[in-house]
Amino acid sequence: MSRRYLLLFPLVAAIVLFIAAWTGGPLNDVDLRVVAESVKLRQAHPLLTELPAWLSFIGNAIVLLPATALIVVLLLVTGRRHAAALLFVVVAGERLLLDGMKILLGRERPEIALHPVDTHSFSFPSGHAANTMTVLVAIALFALPRRHRGWSVPSAIGLAVLVGLTRPWLGVHWPSDVLGGWMLAALVLFAALWADERWKISERGARTGA
């Protein structure tokens, strides 16, 4: 695939992120209907709350941050300093961008029903969606051996998508929040891949004396 087409991915992600931020939320009919219908189904079938709530727990900071710290330490111990630094910068950078966007936009969370899980911040973008996608995919890309990417990256994306989908289902986020979180993660991960490739090219040039 040519570089021109590769550049379309972050461009599309940025456009979708902007649209989700600009048009989503409590004034968006689609967001309102999805959350309202999810609340009705959960109220009719209480068991449909328990599994999504447990799955949503994966996206909590108390799970993702210690897991990231542990993997960074393991990478350092095994001599993979570049991978450790890249993983740390990706996760820390994404969280800073996320928190900044939340404060800047100040979108309120859905209040259609009582939240079955704790919430502590503004709604857009979804921290669970963005953080889970960023951490899991970054681990698959940079911490695991490259030969495992064929299964590790799709598995990481799949689990992150499931965690993100629990948020509107639990009534704590608008669907556009989740979409925005995924797009933010995509932009951060694309930037990390670009930086990793630049570093490898520079390192090869240094070794060959180019």
Among residues 157, 130, 177, 163, the alpha carbon closest in space to that of 35 is found at 177
Give the model's pLDDT for residue 125.
96
Which residues of the chain are under the pLDDT cut of 50?
none
Rg, Å, the chain Cα set: 19
Q: Give the separation between CA 51 and CA 43, rounded to whole angstroms.
A: 14
Runs of H (alpha helix) within the chain: 3-6, 8-23, 29-44, 47-57, 61-77, 81-105, 127-138, 149-169, 175-208
Among residues 135, 141, 152, the alpha carbon closest in space to that of 59 is found at 135
Give the model's pLDDT for residue 8.
85
Give the model's pLDDT for residue 119.
83
Give the model's pLDDT for residue 120.
83
Give the model's pLDDT for residue 5.
63
Burial of 109-129, coded b for 16+ CB within 10 Å and e otherwise, reads bbeebeebbeeeebbbbbbbb
Residue type, 37: E
Residue type, 160: A
Q: Give the separation between CA 122 and CA 104, rounded to whole angstroms.
A: 10
Give the model's pLDDT for residue 154.
97
Give the model's pLDDT for residue 47.
81
Confidence (pTM)? 0.91
Give the model's pLDDT for residue 187.
97
Give the model's pLDDT for residue 163.
97
Give the model's pLDDT for residue 44.
85
Among residues 123, 105, 144, 119, the alpha carbon closest in space to that of 56 is found at 119
